[in-house]
Amino acid sequence: MSLDLGIVFSALGFLGTVVGAKATLEWRGSRNWIETTGHLVSVKERVEIQSDKRRVETQDLVYEYIVNGVTYHSSRVAFGPRIVQGFYTGEKVTLHFNPKNPARSVLDKNLGFWPVAFICIGVPFFILGSIFIAKHFIN
């Protein structure tokens, strides 16, 4: 295999692993996050076209909440990608925020599928790319 392919595989694997690990570590740290209520200040409909040409309808959300008299806004739904539907502007929502940094919040505190998938796919890609690179220099 070529050196270029090894570099691409290693880079993609490393990036995927870092993205998944970052989300997973933040999820682990969220055990001490505090639950509160807020409300949706913006709900925008969006259509995504998937790689298999499927059309997926989702929403972009912005919610507002108050901690210690300070108003915060966030659009983060979860620790990884989520398809969201059925929300409306003004709706009351339950959210979780980081007590050490109240600007960090999520609506859904579950880890979900994508961070784990990034790690499970990223690690083998990184290893495979590293093998390609090593073979290039050994031969």
Mind listing the pLDDT tens digit for each residue in 71-122? 999 999 988 777 788 899 999 999 999 999 999 999 998 877 777 888 899 9
Whole-structure pTM value: 0.70
**Is residue 91 helix, strand or coil?**
coil
Packing angle of the helix pair 114-138, 3-29 (nearest 10 deg):
150
- Output b/e per residue, 56-66; b: 16+ Cβ within 10 A: eebbebebebe
